[in-house]
A and B are shown apart, each in its own frame.
Chain A
Amino acid sequence: MGMNMKTKLRNYHAVCWDEPIIYELDRNGERAIIVPEVDKKIIESVGDGISSIPKSMRRKNLPQLPALSQPQVLRHYLHLSQENLGVDLNIDIGQGTCTMKYSPKINEQFANSEKITEMHPYQDESTSQGLLEIMYKTEQLFKEISGLDRFSLHPGGGAHGIYTISSIIQAYHKSRGEEGKRNEIITTIFSHPADAAAPRVKGYKIIIIYPDENGCPDIEALKKVVSEHTAALLITNPEDTGIYNSKIAEFTKIVHNFGGLCGYDQANANGLLGITRAKEANFDLSFFNLHKTFSSPHGCGGPGSGIVGVTNKLAKFLPVPVVSYDKGNNKYFLDYNSSDSIGKVKDFYGVIPVILKAYAWTMSLGAEGLREVSNVAVLNNNYTMKKILELRGVSMAFPEHKHRIEQVRYSWEKLAKETGINTENIQRRIFDFGTHYWTSHEPWLIPDPFTIEPSESYSKDDIDEFIAILGQIVKEAYEDPKKLKNAPYKSSVHHIDHDVFDDPSKWAITWRAYKKKYNGYFQPK
């Protein structure tokens, strides 16, 4: 029997390196690697590699990159990595809607194997049959998981998947001569914000549906806004609240009746695998985030992959190439044969390491295993919910929904009223215990929100430990709110000033902008 981490919280302290920006570490003249001069004989036979570039295109000055020695570069990035709280370092269940589930390390080993890393996208198909087979079979797996007919593995993330879906929707209506008329996309306020943002980039007008009193998207509102201008419905289900919209088949029917398409955001599918499918709810398109749900970390830990599936009638619009199989010759090949394709959404064929990990993960689990993933994710979440709701000052959005899928949106409204401590205070304090939580997407319809998603990969003890930390913070809120307000005390960074995010004059996205606006190391000019 190990130590009881629920009663003995960690005495954690983060590393703080006070690390400058790499440009500020520049030591003129130092070098990490000295590249040897090219052998004369090589130059004689193939040229110097530069004089063949037109003169007007050659740079006149050397790039202003920082000059550092190899150990210095190594130290810099290790320092930064130590100031991180990643999925392998903490109980990462505070990332609701972003499922930082555990991704088995063996899958990373596959992806890091030379057999993958040494491949080149331009190498001949005859030499990449193994990888093409994996891509082809991955598609077959997802056809089964979703019930849809064809997939594109190209998109490099969820929002990118939604962008691809929007492009297909546009191409479909164009093919029917309705492009100009169908200029509206309907989504819901508790769907992921990217479901509104990505189609907007394609020029669509967005119509947002609010929840009804029970927390489900208001079907009456849908009936009012759907029209011959509706290009599609793009919707998450379950929504950010963790509530499953059980009228979803009615939603798709209403939209289809008006000639619109229906796209399903299944970025977080780990409460649904083997239980519901896009097909049965009559969706025409869908995407999955392989990162998050299928054994790759999300975000900066990526890279990601938001693969897109469609029904037969939309298959001709998918980006090219798809991977097809020539049965006669027993050969997999990159299939560019599509006159109606929306074209390229990304270079080459997809994010191969992520696709490989998803394939390995799915194959290792099998159909039964996938279903078990969902059962455990839902069980973990409903257990977590029960425990969190026992804490003082906490409530959840739309409490009449007693059962949630894979996550829950909670509120500290009562705690804030009683103690003055809000969700951001708690967000800062929780760092002092070596973990973190995310508040919620904006706008905050639920006051002082936070969203917890335990996923299938944490044990009961892990969950209990996380909740014990929340419990400790709640206790402090009632007993010593002042202390809480000044938190964190043990984190790498004390307090990030959010106001500057709204102020473009403070942004410094390039080194040049930084030099202009700051006097070195975050000292405003």
Chain B
Amino acid sequence: MYKIGLIVNPIAGMGGRVGLKGTDGREILQKAKSLGAISLSPKRTSAALEPLSVIQGKLKLMTCPGDMGENEMISCGFVSDIINGIKSKETTFADTQKAARIIRDRGVDLLLFAGGDGTARDIYIAIGTTLPVIGIPTGVKIHSAVFASSPSKAGELSLLYLQKKIHQLREAEVMDIDEQAFRNGIIKARLFGYLKIPYERRHIQGGKLGSSPSEEIIHKAIAEDIVESMDNDFFYIIGPGTTTRAIMQRLGLGYTLLGVDVVYKKEVIGLDLGESELLKLINRGKAKLIITPIGGQGYIFGRGNQPLSPQVIRKVKRDNIIIIATYNKIVSLKGAPLLVDTGDLSLDRELNGYMQIVTNYHERTAYRVKF
């Protein structure tokens, strides 16, 4: 028996159709409805369920009542358990979070969820990386790497995973977009956390790359390279992300996944530090800064690492910035340069040009950086 959970955010995507870019907040939802928005979730979710029909007899499904999954199941001809304690109409993000916890606790092999970045955020808040998930893209804002590249790809990926044709899991970024800024045409995505997704080379958004072995192996190789060349005279400021985390794991140190940590003589001397703490440390000596761009959009500064302020970057100096990334990540930029947006234009200008990205053990890729 294959056990799957399904959570549908019934309002995801409604804003987009009427030009509102997202549906976070009650007011916006009302506005969207009054503009005649209809939800895309049911149709797209059905498209994702379709590929699973070949194993229908072996599926044990669990979902939420009404708009949050039951309706889609019925329209696809699937029979499923409906969980208790969730309303069937006018649901909110709290219902998404609650449903995710209930489904996780009742035990499934995989959780499918339909929505956008906001939905991914709720799933992350509720269950973190305790369960493999796959996002069905139905929302307006899809910047998180947890979504399949299309609804039907989500279904195909689920099928491959359940049938054990793919075995690997990877942590994919959940991005948090500032909706207010987004509605004004500015994309400011911040790394919010990670969800665990089945890893198949070509099914995840922005991840259509036919890349080398597993991410994890390359992360380890990059970490080996960095650790090998570590210099005891330097403070190492380690930016957020799973690529940088591998360095901390290689050193056997504690770390924060989303925060900025500092290592000196291969020991942690600060976790999750803010700008002023960083400045205090680097004023005591020389420092190197290790960062990884955010997948799919390529920012190295100005997104998701606020403590790395212009002062910190200046103090470290351009030559002491070490960028690390797997080819998966570089390919996801589709040839676009790495980006900086430090908030200090003259610094952005200095960073402009070519930098070398550590892409594997003893391998660097010369890549353009633009502001």
> In the complex where A424-B202, A499-B165, A502-B168 touch, is A443 in contact with B366 (Cβ < 8 A)?
no
Q: Given that A224-B366, A422-B202 are known contacts, is A442 also in contact with B210, CB under 8 Å in the complex?
A: yes
**In the complex, chain B residues 164-214 whose Cβ is within 8 Å of any chain A Cβ:** 165-168, 200-202, 208-214
Please tell me if the beta carbons of A502 and B214 are within 8 angstroms of each other in the complex: yes
Answer yes or no: B356 CB below 8 A from chain A CBs. yes
Residues of chain A contacted by B152 (CB below 8 angstroms): 420
Asked if residues B363 and A444 are in contact (CB atoms below 8 Å), the reply is no
Residues of B within 8 A of A208 (CB): 359, 363-366
CA distance A14 to B75 in the complex (A): 40
B331 at the interface (CB under 8 A from A): yes
The answer to whether A162 has its CB under 8 Å from any CB of chain B is no
A residues within 8 A CB of B91?
none
- What total count of A-B pairs have CB within 8 Å? 92
Interchain CB contact under 8 A, A448 and B208: yes
Per the bound structure, the CA–CA distance linking A213 and B328 in Å amounts to 20
Contact between chains at B211 and A499 (CB < 8 Å): no
A interface residue count range (under 10 / 10 to 19 / 20 to 34 / 35 or more): 35 or more
Q: How far is the CB of B136 from chain A (nearest CB, A)?
A: 15
B210 to chain A, nearest CB (A): 4
**Contact assessment for B327 and A443 in the assembled complex, using a CB-CB cutoff below 8 Å:** yes
A residues less than 8 Å from B330 (CB atoms): 443
Docked pose: A297 CA to B8 CA in angstroms: 55
Q: Check A218–B366 contact: CB distance below 8 A.
A: yes
Separation of A499 and B160 alpha carbons in the complex (Å): 10
Interface string of B327-371 (1 = CB under 8 A from A): 110110011000000000000000001101001001111111000
**Inter-chain contacts of B200 with A (CB < 8 A):** 499
A443 partner, pick from B168, B211, B335, B362, beta carbons under 8 A: B211
Interchain nearest-CB distance for A449 vs B (Å): 8
Chain A residues in 8 Å Cβ range of B367: 210, 221
Task: Given the known inter-chain contacts A224-B354, A443-B331, please indicate yes or no for A207 contacting B366, CB distance below 8 A.
Answer: yes
> Taking CB as reference atom, which chain A residue is nearest B150?
A420
Digitize A354-386: 1 where CB-to-B-CB distance is under 8 Å, 0 elsewhere. Answer: 000000000000000000000000000000000
Which of B165, B167, B210, B212 meets A440, CB within 8 Å? B210
Q: Does B331 lie within 8 Å of A205, measured CB to CB? A: no
| Contact A445 B366, beta carbon cutoff 8 Å | no
Complex alpha-carbon distance, A190 and B367, angstroms = 14
What residues of B have a CB within 8 angstroms of the CB of A204 in the complex? 362
Q: How far is the CA of A151 from the CA of B168 in the complex (A)?
A: 47
Residues of A321-355 at the interface with B, using a CB-CB cut-off of 8 Å, are: none
Interface residues as binary, A494-517 with B (CB distance below 8 Å gives 1, 0 otherwise): 000111111100000000000000
1/0 per residue, CB under 8 A from B, across A195-226: the answer is: 01000100011111111010000101110110
Tell me what chain A mostly uses at the interface: helix, strand, loop, or mixed: mixed
Q: A447 on the interface (CB 8 Å rule)?
A: yes
Q: Cβ of A200 and Cβ of B209 under 8 Å apart?
A: no
Residues from chain A with Cβ under 8 Å of B214 in the complex: 502
Closest chain A CB from B3 CB (angstroms): 21
Per the bound structure, the CA–CA distance linking A204 and B360 in Å amounts to: 13
Is B365's CB under 8 angstroms from A189's CB? Answer: yes
Interface assignment of A146: CB less than 8 Å from any CB of chain B: no
Inter-chain contacts of B217 with A (CB < 8 A):
502
Are B356 and A207 neighbours in the complex by a CB distance under 8 Å? yes
- Judge whether A206 and B362 touch: CB under 8 Å: yes
Which chain A residue has the least Cβ–Cβ distance from B202?
A: A422
Contacts of B354 in A (CB 8 A): 220-221, 224-225
Complex alpha-carbon distance, A445 and B365, angstroms: 14
Closest B residue, CB atoms, query A417: B150
Chain A 435-452 against B: per-residue CB contact (8 Å), 1 yes, 0 no?
Answer: 000011011110111000
**A290–B186 CA distance with the chains assembled, in angstroms:** 56
Cα A208 to Cα B357 with chains together (Å): 9
Q: Closest A residue to B365 by CB, please name it.
A: A208
Taking A220-B354, A420-B150, A443-B327 as contacts, is the C-beta distance between A210 and B211 under 8 angstroms? no
Q: How far is the CA of A261 from the CA of B214 in the complex (A)?
A: 34
Which of A207, A442, A445, A499 interacts with B212 by CB under 8 Å?
A442
Residues in B neighbouring A498, C-beta threshold 8 A: 201
Q: How far, in angstroms, from A499 to B334 measured CA to CA in the complex?
A: 24
- CB of B152 to closest CB in A, whole Å: 6
Docked Cα-Cα span, A180 to B170, in Å, equals 38
Find chain A residues with CB under 8 A from B328 CB: 443
**Per-residue B-contact encoding for A48-81, CB less than 8 Å = 1, 0 else:** 0000000000000000000000000000000000
8 A Cβ contacts from A414-460 to B: 420, 422, 424, 439-440, 442-445, 447-449
In contact, A205 and B362 (Cβ under 8 angstroms): yes
B365 close to A210 (CB less than 8 A) = yes
Least distance between A478 CB and chain B CB atoms (Å)? 16
Closest CB pairs A-B (n = 6): A444-B210, A443-B327, A221-B366, A208-B365, A499-B166, A224-B354
**27 pairs, A vs B, C-beta closer than 8 Å:** A189-B365, A196-B363, A200-B363, A205-B362, A206-B364, A207-B363, A207-B364, A208-B364, A222-B366, A224-B354, A225-B364, A420-B152, A422-B202, A424-B202, A442-B209, A443-B212, A444-B210, A445-B331, A445-B335, A447-B208, A448-B208, A498-B201, A499-B167, A499-B168, A499-B200, A501-B213, A502-B168
With A210-B365, A422-B202 already in contact, 4 other A-B pairs whose C-beta atoms are closer than 8 Å: A440-B210, A443-B209, A443-B331, A444-B208
